[in-house]
Chain A
Amino acid sequence: MIRVNNVRAGYGDGPDILQGIDLTASGGEIVTILGPNGCGKSTLLKCIAGFVRPRGGAVEMEGRDVSAVAVHDKVKHHRMGFVPQTDNVFSTLTVADNVLLGARHLPVPERNERYAELMAQYPSLASKQERKASALSGGERQILSLARALISTPKVLLLDEPSAGLSPLMMHEVFAAIAAIRDRTGMCIVMVEQNAFEALSVADRAYVLSLGKVAIEGRAADLLADPAMRHLYLGGEPPPAEPHPRLAAVS
């Protein structure tokens, strides 16, 4: 579905932020991109979406070279959905308008049906449909942005840190929702994440970037089990199953 071939990219006259990246993602799988701050994860996602034009190499979607195709054309012709890391809602529009904008090209009955489904799925949005998006909390905006991308049932979904700012409970819910979408629709999902443990738990495959290059790639389960990976990129051991003694004392 998506193939990134030896892509180099950067901003303006600046240096190459991506220095020859290879990546693939197919339908029905979640591919997660991990790595330290500033290593180029968002840049890679923007490159796939088309906001950043590759300086070298190529981005392919469904077998076609789309390196030079405009973002809005990819949304139309390859049914691509994109959730940016920041500024991910239309702040001056209502919650309902935000979600419905994602389904502009759907026929009205289908649009309304999908909208109702999403509102049932995310009660936190349903109760605020007529509010301006600027009046939502950070986590609610995150959910709204996801709902906007999902309403059109895209074939390719690019998510930049969908769990940012979410409470642990909400984060689990969002990841579970993303996994369910994959299983139900066979969507191709590429997800940049900071919460590496959770991301690797739902993802099928993972790429770890470092300084603009792919440092590690492999099956998510393998990476999760790899002690070197844990030590270098996941910040040591997974959180203990038992509550911390002090927390236990509190409760």
Chain B
Amino acid sequence: MVQFVVDVLIRAVDLALIAIGLSSVYSLIRFPNVALVQYATTGALLALCLQMAGLPLVVAAIAACALVGIIAVVLNVIVFERLLRAGSAIAMIGSLALSMMFSAIFLVTAGPRPKRFELEINPPLRFLGARLTEHQLMSVGISALAIIVFALILFRTDLGRCMRATATNSVLASATGIDTRKVTNTVVFLSGVMAALGGIGLSVKGEMSAQLGLDMLLPVFAAAILGGLGNALGAAVGAVVIAAAETMVTNVNFGPLFGASVLFIPAAYATAASFLLLVVVLLIKPYGLFVSEVKRV
């Protein structure tokens, strides 16, 4: 049981980081940016390159996150702000096109073979009977911290208030002296940083492949939609739900249920589980588990 919770958390934090960014940015610019999952791969790839160039992993990770944040802002200004003038559907298709370009770039630069960070291998720690490695613990800790910091920014700072005001009514927000464009780009920067952190976290725990981002696309969207698109903390909860569903599918031994000693569902069905869950929840609650600030008027 403890192992199950630990596995869910390990999976959920990285999902949550990306889904929170997706949801927050959605609340401001009203289209889901598909390319965000590729920012996760970019972050992992950059961190890997910087580590290979001789930087310690922590420094490489921080630099990669900052770089991805900047890339996110630059792309928002030169691509999405323009596309949005033609409407949110156009912007979303644009973000899909952009993420295909990212995929091509990853294939060319990183190649099709998965890569790994250079990490010391230590024996796993034991915690209430559950096993987890030092790197998993570190990664979960840092990601959880990042989520908490983001929540504090959202609910305790002037930037957070400005962000919620802009999400609710951007015309009125500028009439109260809020520079809505600056607020949006700040949130875009944060979403890039969080996506990169999520990507690095994922590759530290497993491996870094050009497919990393695209593999995350469906679960991240499922988490964000489940949480009520536009609701940042809802996305975090959505991530936990999706992670639990996936972990259930892959890690739980269904054998006793069917009179067999061992019966695991193949890991390839993990995504299917999150989708089944998403469809069922949306049929019951069409706006997700939590009403988002955007939908409620």
Residues on A with C-beta less than 8 A from B176 are: 75, 101-102, 104, 148
Query: What bracket does the count of chain A residues touching chain B fall in?
Result: 20 to 34
Residues on B with C-beta less than 8 A from A101 are: 161, 165, 176, 178
**B211 at the A interface (CB under 8 A):** no
When the two chains form the complex, which single residue of B158, B171, B296 contacts A51, counting CB atoms closer than 8 Å? B171
**A49 at the B interface (CB under 8 A):** yes
Q: Would you list which residues of chain A between 92 and 121 have a CB under 8 Å from chain B? A: 92-93, 97, 101-102, 104-105
In the complex, what distance in Å separates the CA atom of A82 from the CA atom of B180? 16
Residues on A with C-beta less than 8 A from B296 are: 91-92, 134
In the complex, what distance in Å separates the CA atom of A104 from the CA atom of B164? 14
CB-nearest residue of chain B relative to A82? B175
B179 touches A90 (CB 8 A): no
Q: Which of A81, A92, A93 has the most CB of B within 10 A?
A: A92
In the complex, what distance in Å separates the CA atom of A76 from the CA atom of B178? 9
**B253 at the A interface (CB under 8 A):** no
**A186 at the B interface (CB under 8 A):** no
Residues on A with C-beta less than 8 A from B164 are: 90, 92-93
Q: Would you list which residues of chain B between 224 and 275 have a CB under 8 Å from chain A? A: none
Interface size of B in residues (CB-CB distance below 8 Å): 21
Residues on B with C-beta less than 8 A from A166 are: none
A69 to chain B, nearest CB (A): 12
**B168 at the A interface (CB under 8 A):** yes
**B172 at the A interface (CB under 8 A):** yes
Residues on B with C-beta less than 8 A from A84 are: 171-172, 175
CB-nearest residue of chain A relative to B178? A72
B172 touches A70 (CB 8 A): no
**A87 at the B interface (CB under 8 A):** yes
A residues near B (Cβ < 8 Å) are 49, 51, 70-72, 75-76, 81-84, 87-93, 97, 101-102, 104-105, 134, 148
B residues near A (Cβ < 8 Å) are 158, 161-162, 164-165, 167-169, 171-180, 293, 296-297
25 CB < 8 A contacts A-B = A51-B174, A70-B179, A72-B174, A72-B180, A75-B174, A76-B177, A82-B175, A83-B175, A84-B171, A84-B175, A87-B171, A87-B172, A88-B172, A89-B169, A90-B169, A91-B168, A91-B296, A92-B293, A93-B165, A93-B168, A101-B176, A101-B178, A102-B176, A104-B176, A148-B176
Please name 18 further chain A to chain B contacts, defined as beta carbons within 8 Å, in addition to the given A81-B175, A134-B296, sorted by A numbering: A51-B174, A72-B177, A75-B177, A88-B172, A90-B168, A90-B169, A90-B172, A90-B173, A92-B164, A92-B168, A92-B293, A97-B161, A101-B176, A101-B178, A102-B176, A104-B176, A104-B178, A134-B297
